[in-house]
Amino acid sequence: MALPSGDSSRPDNTLAVIHTLREHGPVARIDLGALNGISAATVTSISAELLQQGLITQQPPKTGRPNGRGRPKTLIQLNPQAACVVCIKLSINEIQLVVGDFAGRVRHSEHHAVSTLALSADDFAMMLEAKISAVCTQQLDGFQRLAAICLAVQGVVSSQSGTIVWSPALSFRNAPISTRLADHFHCSVLLENDANCIANVLAARSAYADCANLVVIMLGYGIGMSVLINGVPFLGANGSAAEFGHSKYQPDGALCACGRRGCIEAYASDYALYRAAAGQLELTATDSAHPSEQQMQALTQLALTGDPVAQRIYAEAGRALGVGIANVMALFNPDLVLITGSGVRGFEAMQTAMHAAIDDALVAELKGTTRIESCAWDRDMTCMGGIAMTLQATDTETLLESQTARKA
């Protein structure tokens, strides 16, 4: 097989071009060169090859624009059909399956209610195989290849060994899932923590571009966190770093879903808020351990419209969150703490107490210049991040496969 032509940095340049096209959408060749610091000749040669491999397409220049000046430029863009990723998001009693195309856009999304906590490790793997197979059969027509599967999981994962170490969605632990799915579907499998996926999406936004140390906190049924240091998720020795929800607010405090006491999650998560409210407020009869989105919205409304009991509950959650964030500020000294997740619906009812707790906890020199902001939640965000991370991780593979296919 012939070696790729061009200079020794050519594969890196090709990857850079693909990443730029994914980030910016359609771009003229001349701008591609400028954005990546490579010559016009190199861009021309790379784009010719990518065109031939079917990884990019050309947009004919628009003509007849009344105010257009100069010769209109031909834009090139990723061929969205060149490859796709199936991303599965695992939460408690819910599975989301999303198909993303080669340009990183969501093409299909479906949610399934699944009693995840009732599954054995084997049932869980078979359930995933069946759901992924179904989505592939229905949705993958027209795509040149399935680049990879991404599994975005609430909890502690070891991406390296492909093992779900501990997830609140599962009643078993240390599940080696990546190899099983990779063998079944004959493709790469990326296992990621859900908060890292979200952080990947947020870090790409221009508003947060100057944050070398970015902490993203996800409020919701549980509480997740991702710490990005220079854009890279900080994983620690075994991948369980940035576990914020089970850091402590109050030793010997409220019971947490993990079985221990006093975790931040035991005060500020959906189940903790609903549990505290269930004893004191008239709420729809429910399984208070797993409140629905509608129930959480109703509870939040009570706090926001001045119900004193609901206000007290959200204030206590805000205090717990504030003490936890103060510890994160003391230990990580981040540029920005960004709060999101479905639970951000209740942030307005928590934030006064949260800021008061941070001010009580830390002297000004330790608060430093860290900003604390909230950010609107989008339920597709986790999978969008998972798809972006997976495409980036498998671009080299896609490139090689396309070269081989073209030469065969």
Q: Are 165 and 240 in contact (CB under 8 A)?
A: yes
116: left (phi over 0), alpha (psi -120 to 50) or beta: alpha
Which of 7, 99, 14 lies closest to 52 in space, CA to CA? 14
Choose which of 246, 269, 347, 381 interacts with its own copies (CB under 8 A).
Answer: 246
Structure tokens at 42: 């190199």
**Distance in Å, CB of 207 to its own copies, minimum:** 17
Q: Which of residues 321-380 bind its own copies (CB under 8 A)?
A: 323, 326-328, 330-335, 357, 360-363, 365-366, 368-370
Amino acid at 77: Q
> Which CB, 114 or 362, lies closer to its own copies?
362
In sequence order, what are the beta bridge partners of 289?
none
Q: Is 312 near its own copies (CB under 8 A)?
A: no
Q: How many residues bind its own copies (CB under 8 A)?
A: 52
Which H helix or E strand runs over 108? strand 106-113
Alpha-carbon span 194 to 169, nearest angstrom: 12
Under rule CB under 8 A, which residues in 185-224 are in contact with its own copies? Answer: 212-213
Q: How far is the CB of 114 from its own copies (least distance, A)?
A: 22
Q: CA 254 to CA 262: how far, in whole Å?
A: 5
Nearer to its own copies, 62 or 173 (CB): 173
Minimum separation from the CB atom of position 205 to its own copies (A):
18
Taking the least distance from each CB to its own copies, the nearer of 166 and 271 is 166
Spatial separation of the C-alpha atoms in residues 9 and 135, rounded to whole Å: 38
- Which amino acid is located at 46 in the chain? I
The DSSP string of 174-216 is -EE-HHHHHHHHTSEEEEEEHHHHHHHHHHTSGGGTT-SEEEE
Residue 94, helix vs strand vs coil: strand
Cβ distance 189 to 182 under 8 Å?
Answer: yes
| Identity of the residue, 192 or 243, whose beta carbon is nearer to its own copies in the bound complex | 243
Q: Which positions ≥6 away from 368 have C-beta within 8 Å? A: 329, 333
The pair of three-digit structure tokens given for residue 277, joined into one six-digit string? 């409210």
Q: What does the alpha-carbon distance between residue 393 and residue 334 come to, in Å, rounded to a whole number? A: 26
- Residue 261 is a binding residue for its own copies (CB under 8 A): yes
d(CA 170, CA 130): 18
Choice between 353 and 399, CB closer to its own copies: 353
User: Does residue number 244 form part of the binding site for its own copies (CB under 8 A)?
Assistant: yes
Given the rule CB under 8 A, which of 119-127, 182-190, 248-256, 277-285 is the region that contacts its own copies? 248-256
Q: Which residue among 4, 236, 309, 379 contacts its own copies (CB under 8 A)? A: 236
107 vs 319 by CB, closer to its own copies: 319
Residues 129-158 that bind its own copies (CB under 8 A): 156
Quick one: tokens of 304?
Answer: 């926001």
Nearer to its own copies, 45 or 250 (CB): 250
Question: Least distance to its own copies from the beta carbon of 298, Å?
Answer: 29
Choose, by CB under 8 A, the member of 10, 108, 260, 290 that binds its own copies: 260
Binding site for its own copies (CB under 8 A): 156, 165-166, 173, 212-213, 227, 229, 234-244, 246-252, 258-262, 319, 323, 326-328, 330-335, 357, 360-363, 365-366, 368-370
